Amino acid sequence: MSNSKQSNKRTPLVNWLNAYLPPLVWAGVIFIISNQQVLPGTDVFLYDFLLKKSAHMLVYAVLYWLVYRGVKLTTNSSSVFLHWTLPLVICLVYAVSDEFHQHFVPGRYATMRDIGYDMVGAGAVFLRKYRYI
């Protein structure tokens, strides 16, 4: 039996889980990392800054790609605008909620700057996906 025939026989729940379980698990990983009172780093300020801000960009780049994949798998292929805006909006909302969550974690604090770094990561995947970079 061909692969396309097998995918047509999947239930809507299986299709939804295939599309959205990976970004939900990744969002859970982000939540767990954000819930840590102290994150590993280095004693050199510049290296610590670069490490942590690169991590922000990387985890939200992955989140954008996973959400994009889920939206693409579950929506009509003619809705290109939805394919690229919905993942960006979801990443923005999650970045804001993540910073709000960090506000309540001892030893951590929320910053708008971190939301910006998160969106740089998501935006880089968007720009690469649509061949702007």
Q: Residue 37: pLDDT band by 50, 70, 90 thresholds?
A: confident
d(CA 30, CA 92) in angstroms, rounded, equals 14
Nearest residue to 118 (alpha-carbon basis) of 133, 107, 102, 130: 102
Does residue 17 form part of some domain? Answer: yes
In a domain, 76, yes or no: yes
In a domain, 3, yes or no: no
Kindly state whether residue 103 falls inside one of the protein's structural domains. yes
Residue 7 is assigned to a structural domain of this protein: no
Q: Is residue 121 part of a domain?
A: yes
Distance CA 74, CA 51 (A): 35
Q: In this predicted structure, which of 18-27, 32-41, 63-72, 99-108 has the lowest mean pLDDT?
A: 32-41
Distance between the two ends of the chain, CA-based, in angstroms?
40
Q: Is residue 1 part of a domain?
A: no
Which range of residues forms the domain containing residue 29? 12-129
**Which tokens sit at 6?**
């097998």
Q: What is the gyration radius of the CA atoms in the chain, in angstroms? A: 17
* Residue (of 120, 114, 123) closest to 95 by Cα position: 114
| Amino acid at the residue 71 | V
Tell whether 6 is covered by a domain.
no
Mean pLDDT of 33-61: 89
Place 109 in a pLDDT band, splitting at 50, 70 and 90.
confident
pTM of the shown model? 0.86
**Residue 1 confidence (pLDDT):** 45
Total number of domains in the chain: 1
